[in-house]
A and B are shown apart, each in its own frame.
Chain A
Amino acid sequence: METLKEKNKDAKKTTAMKVSGAEAIIHCLLAEGVDILYGYPGGAIMPVYDELYKFQDKLTHILTRHEQGATHAAQGFARVTGRVGVAMATSGPGATNLVTGLADAQIDSTPMVCITGQVTRHLLGSDAFQETDIIGISTPVTKWNYQITKAEEIPEILAKAFYIARSGRPGPVLVDITKNAQFDELDFSYEHCTGIRSYNPVPKPNTEAIDAAAKLINEAKKPMIVFGQGVILGQAEDELKELIEKSGIPAAWTILGLSALDSDHPLNVGMVGMHGNYAPNMLTNECDVLIAIGMRFDDRVTGNLDTYAKQAKVIHFEIDPAEINKNVTADVAVLGNSKETLGMILPKIKENKHEAWHNEFKKRYKIEFDAVIKDELHPTKEGMTMAEVINEINTASGHKAVIVSDVGQHQMIACRYSKFKQSKSNITSGGLGTMGFALPAAIGAKMGAMDREVVAIIGDGGYQMTIQELGTIFQNKTPVKIVVLNNEHLGMVRQWQELFFESRYASTVMSNPNFVKIAEGYDITAKKITDRKDLKATIAEMLASKDAYFLEVRVEKEDNVFPMIPSGASVSDIRLK
């Protein structure tokens, strides 16, 4: 964890020099260790692009094909590296195109800094060409935002922006910079931000709360852990594993917590939530102590709050005080960075084995396996299932690939059936559920982890929301693997229509273009398979490819994702069919 003192140590101040605001922005980015950013130019940000041109040996700018793509690419980069992702856009439409990415990063706590150009200061408020109040628009979807109207503000504000984006519970920051501030000169010197007096990013852990939590855990007969992305963001994977192993407590994860714990760990009992596993959902309502670590009790996780874990004492490990008692009342709240708090509680935890209780999970896994998983992975019907495709990709890549999923049925299947050995390997839009996220996010993820295989799993619907980013892949020769699971429907919505709207398929049937030809138009090797017998070999070919590869798999048109907790139902009312 970064404390103020540690940070002060390397807060070196660069000596003053006279530069334009636009050049100062580049120096700020370099000082923050940025070597890549995603964006799209336009009138109000042109002075900065001119400097990007001059500094292209130090700072790579990736031209996406839409500003939304720039934000998702920056998010993918941030999620795979743990660093701050950077996106840039012009004023007006450029800026408004960032909004979805900002909202996504806000709800999924992704560190991102967006820089937008703005009309020159004296035109503000005059409805000038491409003027839009992006500060007003982005306020609800940013951790912080600020409009710079004077060149001298640039170093301090950008230092603050990066500090806020990455510290505490991370999130997106937008800095809007008027054109005059980009042109004007300033005496540039840079000082990293090490603290803001009104902002306490990491609350100090309270030892009494740690003791109370340890006592509850040690006395529990049927304890269960549910962990979320807070473990990954806090880099507390080792501590989590140690806690689980020492205490013998079964651990389940939220979709954003996935990959923080080895999928094959014997105490990993799967996913909670709407399409999570049967055992952890059912047993949430039977455990006696529920230990929530770095998760926020999202409604997709809890179902009906009135019947959620009412029998259990709840311990909530959390960095953000606003999450405490927001949805679920905590009997013990342990505030702080997860690495620090888990590290503090570990020595107080008694070694234990909860074999009989763990067997309850295994029993229910068997029920789910027989009712759902077996047929999903080894279908007897003719059409392919999404699960068998995911499973093949996963096995063939040795569980080492970064899986970037879009939103819908394929996302739930990707999260349910992918297995991971390494943290930060599952990238998906969890909180916002943004269709169109995966393709650009995969580009950013690949650029953040060039040594890793990155596979995007996308539905035929979501693919067409940001399909233009194939152009980015083409131009940069980004070797991402793209798998479209084509069911010729907006599958997840169709599923709801089938289950809750008497199969009235209003606007969920898709007639799709020739995706292979489209990919080929971008010079990307492309294949479509419709038959199970081609699956293994084609996936092997895709993974062996050194370049980008597009694979379309025709899957069953009207498959449903199960188990499922109908919205508003209790976690223990989870349906197997």
Chain B
Amino acid sequence: MKKEWFTISVYAENNVGLLNRISGIFLKRHINIESLNVSKSEIENVSKFTIVVNTTEDWTRKIVQQIEKQIEVIKAFFHDDDEIIYQESALFKVASHLLFDERQIQNIIKESNSQIVTVSRDFFVLAKSGRRHEIDEMHEALLPYGIMQFVRSGRIAVSKAEMPISKLLKNFYQD
């Protein structure tokens, strides 16, 4: 079976040990976590893990089954790229003099749709949100001028279809 990109969304109780438990499931099967993001979700006190993997659908399903089995996990889903709206964000720290010395820098900022977050005497910081390839393109464009620091976040995603967590939780309290 062919490898594809899948985004796994995990709704879980806030719990210190859970990340360890979840990462262990990937470790056991030698599946690389391409990106990981943990944040709060639309539901109070429920956190959301967004995990990107590049593997077969079969393996992804098996991993999701194992994740869902963990006591603190409310529900886990997986989607291919067509089924979600997704982004990553990146920060570029660049030397300030380039803004004045290199005319091309201005164009890169404009064309990449990025924002200047801060400017100081020595450096300025550009923020860019978007698809991985857009961030990569911007990275490539800035590279010849020198990037002092670069960081890119994990993918965050929302699904086009519903993820009925509230309903699930409501059922629990009614039963």
Q: Please, which residue of chain B has its CB at the minimum distance from the CB of A163?
A: B71
Q: Is B169 an interface residue (CB 8 A)?
A: yes
- Docked-complex contact B71 and A143, CB < 8 angstroms: yes
Q: Is B3 an interface residue (CB 8 A)?
A: no
- Docked-complex contact A144 and B68, CB < 8 angstroms: no
Q: Is B32 an interface residue (CB 8 A)?
A: no
Q: Footprint of B on A, CB under 8 Å?
A: 4-5, 135-136, 139-140, 143-147, 164, 195-199, 320-322, 324-326
- Docked-complex contact B66 and A322, CB < 8 angstroms: yes
- Docked-complex contact A197 and B21, CB < 8 angstroms: no
Smallest beta-carbon distance B61→chain A, Å: 7
Contact of A198 among B65, B66, B74 (CB under 8 A): B74
Contact of B169 among A5, A145, A197 (CB under 8 A): A197
Top 3 closest A-B pairs, CB basis?
A: A322-B65, A198-B74, A197-B172
With a CB–CB cut-off of 8 A, which chain A residues contact B74? Answer: 197-198
With a CB–CB cut-off of 8 A, which chain A residues contact B72? Answer: 198-199
In the bound assembly, the distance between CA atoms of A139 and B19 in angstroms comes to 11
Interface residues of B in 119-175 (CB under 8 A from A): 169, 172-173, 175
Q: Is B51 an interface residue (CB 8 A)?
A: no
- Docked-complex contact A199 and B71, CB < 8 angstroms: yes
Q: Is B12 an interface residue (CB 8 A)?
A: yes
In the bound assembly, the distance between CA atoms of A322 and B67 in angstroms comes to 9
Extra A-B contacts (17), CB below 8 Å, given A146-B17, A199-B71: A139-B17, A139-B21, A147-B17, A197-B13, A197-B74, A197-B169, A197-B173, A198-B72, A198-B73, A198-B74, A199-B72, A321-B68, A322-B68, A322-B69, A324-B65, A325-B62, A326-B62
In the bound assembly, the distance between CA atoms of A320 and B69 in angstroms comes to 8
Contact of A139 among B20, B73, B173, B175 (CB under 8 A): B20
Q: Is B30 an interface residue (CB 8 A)?
A: no
Known A195-B172, A197-B169; contact A136-B68, beta-carbon cutoff 8 A = no
Smallest beta-carbon distance B109→chain A, Å: 44
With a CB–CB cut-off of 8 A, which chain A residues contact B13? Answer: 197-198
With a CB–CB cut-off of 8 A, which chain B residues contact A195? Answer: 172, 175
- Docked-complex contact A139 and B68, CB < 8 angstroms: no
Smallest beta-carbon distance B11→chain A, Å: 8
In the bound assembly, the distance between CA atoms of A263 and B83 in angstroms comes to 53
Smallest beta-carbon distance A254→chain B, Å: 21
Interface string of B49-74 (1 = CB under 8 A from A): 00000000000011001101101111
Q: Please, which residue of chain B has its CB at the minimum distance from the CB of A4?
A: B175
Q: Is B28 an interface residue (CB 8 A)?
A: yes
In the bound assembly, the distance between CA atoms of A196 and B173 in angstroms comes to 10
In the bound assembly, the distance between CA atoms of A139 and B16 in angstroms comes to 12
In the bound assembly, the distance between CA atoms of A321 and B72 in angstroms comes to 16
In the bound assembly, the distance between CA atoms of A146 and B173 in angstroms comes to 24
- Docked-complex contact B28 and A145, CB < 8 angstroms: no
With a CB–CB cut-off of 8 A, which chain B residues contact A197? Answer: 13, 74, 169, 172-173
- Docked-complex contact B24 and A321, CB < 8 angstroms: no
Interface string of B7-28 (1 = CB under 8 A from A): 0000011000100110010001
Smallest beta-carbon distance B98→chain A, Å: 43
In the bound assembly, the distance between CA atoms of A146 and B21 in angstroms comes to 12
With a CB–CB cut-off of 8 A, which chain B residues contact A325? Answer: 61-62
In the bound assembly, the distance between CA atoms of A321 and B74 in angstroms comes to 14
**13 cross-chain CB contacts under 8 A:** A135-B17, A139-B17, A144-B71, A164-B71, A195-B172, A197-B173, A198-B72, A321-B69, A322-B62, A322-B66, A324-B65, A325-B62, A326-B65
Interface string of B71-88 (1 = CB under 8 A from A): 111100000000000000
In the bound assembly, the distance between CA atoms of A139 and B18 in angstroms comes to 9
Smallest beta-carbon distance A124→chain B, Å: 12
In the bound assembly, the distance between CA atoms of A4 and B173 in angstroms comes to 11
With a CB–CB cut-off of 8 A, which chain B residues contact A164? Answer: 71
- Docked-complex contact A198 and B71, CB < 8 angstroms: yes
Smallest beta-carbon distance A336→chain B, Å: 15
In the bound assembly, the distance between CA atoms of A146 and B15 in angstroms comes to 10
Known A198-B13, A198-B73; contact A321-B65, beta-carbon cutoff 8 A = yes
With a CB–CB cut-off of 8 A, which chain A residues contact B17? Answer: 135, 139, 145-147
Q: Please, which residue of chain A has its CB at the minimum distance from the CB of B24?
A: A140
With a CB–CB cut-off of 8 A, which chain A residues contact B175? Answer: 4-5, 195
Q: Please, which residue of chain A has its CB at the minimum distance from the CB of B61?
A: A325
Smallest beta-carbon distance A234→chain B, Å: 18
In the bound assembly, the distance between CA atoms of A147 and B173 in angstroms comes to 26
With a CB–CB cut-off of 8 A, which chain B residues contact A139? Answer: 17, 20-21, 24
- Docked-complex contact A198 and B24, CB < 8 angstroms: no
Smallest beta-carbon distance B150→chain A, Å: 32
With a CB–CB cut-off of 8 A, which chain A residues contact B172? Answer: 195, 197
With a CB–CB cut-off of 8 A, which chain A residues contact B65? Answer: 321-322, 324, 326
In the bound assembly, the distance between CA atoms of A325 and B72 in angstroms comes to 23
Of the candidates A198, A321, A322, A324, the one having the most CB atoms from chain B within 10 angstroms of its own CB is A198
Q: Please, which residue of chain B has its CB at the minimum distance from the CB of A136?
A: B20
In the bound assembly, the distance between CA atoms of A210 and B62 in angstroms comes to 23
In the bound assembly, the distance between CA atoms of A195 and B74 in angstroms comes to 13
Smallest beta-carbon distance B52→chain A, Å: 21
With a CB–CB cut-off of 8 A, which chain B residues contact A196? Answer: 71
With a CB–CB cut-off of 8 A, which chain B residues contact A320? Answer: 69
In the bound assembly, the distance between CA atoms of A147 and B66 in angstroms comes to 23
In the bound assembly, the distance between CA atoms of A284 and B55 in angstroms comes to 32
Q: Please, which residue of chain B has its CB at the minimum distance from the CB of A143?
A: B71
Smallest beta-carbon distance A348→chain B, Å: 27
With a CB–CB cut-off of 8 A, which chain B residues contact A146? Answer: 17
In the bound assembly, the distance between CA atoms of A397 and B76 in angstroms comes to 51
Q: Please, which residue of chain A has its CB at the minimum distance from the CB of B27?
A: A140
Q: Please, which residue of chain A has its CB at the minimum distance from the CB of B73?
A: A198
With a CB–CB cut-off of 8 A, which chain B residues contact A145? Answer: 17
With a CB–CB cut-off of 8 A, which chain B residues contact A136? Answer: 20
Q: Please, which residue of chain A has its CB at the minimum distance from the CB of B170?
A: A197
In the bound assembly, the distance between CA atoms of A504 and B166 in angstroms comes to 62
In the bound assembly, the distance between CA atoms of A143 and B62 in angstroms comes to 17
In the bound assembly, the distance between CA atoms of A235 and B156 in angstroms comes to 45
Q: Please, which residue of chain B has its CB at the minimum distance from the CB of A144?
A: B71
Smallest beta-carbon distance B16→chain A, Å: 8
In the bound assembly, the distance between CA atoms of A4 and B172 in angstroms comes to 10
In the bound assembly, the distance between CA atoms of A146 and B70 in angstroms comes to 13
With a CB–CB cut-off of 8 A, which chain B residues contact A147? Answer: 17
With a CB–CB cut-off of 8 A, which chain A residues contact B62? Answer: 322, 325-326
